[in-house]
């Protein structure tokens, strides 16, 4: 039983890997590179904390 479960799990993980690659491709083709890489470090801190002690 264990060996069968391992085979099934390996097959499912193969499908999940394919799904990730598909979603990655879909995302990269649906949004501009500027949008995808627009995250900036510390943006929220810059607004919420002024470090006036």
Partner 1 sequence: MAKTSSAAAAAPIQRVSLLRILGPVHVWALGVGIVLVGEYTGWNFAADKGGTLAALIICWVVGLLYTAVAMIDSEVTSTVAAAGGQYAQAKHIVGPLMAFNVALYLVFAYTMLEVSNAILIADTMKAYIGEGFTDWHYKGIIATVIIVLATLNYRGVLMTLNVNFVITALAYLAIVVLFFSVQPWSQGAVLKLNEMVTPENALPYGWIGVIAGFHWGIWYYLGIEGTTQAAEEVRSPARSLPYGTMAGMITLLIGASLTWYVCASLMPWQYLGFTYYPLFDAGKLTGSKALETMMFAATILAALASANGCINDAARAWFSLGRDRYLPTWFAAVHPTYRTPYRSIVFLVPIALAFAFIANLGQAITFSILSGVLHYTFMSVNIMMFRNKWPLGTIRRGYTHPFHPLPAIVLFILCVVTFFAIFLGYGAQLTAMVVFYVIMSLWFHFYRYQYVRRGDQFTMPWPRPKGY
Kindly state the smallest distance separating residue 13's Cβ from partner 1, in Å: 4
2 binds partner 1 (CB under 8 A): yes
Q: Give the torsion sign (CA, 9, 13, 16, 22).
A: negative
DSSP state of 17: H
Angle subtended at Cα 29 by Cα 28 and Cα 32, rounded to the nearest 5 degrees: 70
Size of the site for partner 1 (CB under 8 A): 39
Residues that bind partner 1 (CB under 8 A): 2-3, 6-7, 9-10, 12-14, 16-17, 19-21, 23-24, 27-28, 31-46, 49-53
């Amino acid at each position: 039983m264990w060996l069968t479960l391992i085979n099934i799990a390996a097959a499912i993980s193969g499908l999940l890997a394919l799904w990730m690659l598909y979603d990655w491709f879909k995302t990269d083709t649906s949004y501009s590179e500027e949008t995808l890489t627009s995250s900036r470090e510390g943006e929220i801190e810059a607004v919420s904390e002024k470090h006036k002690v």
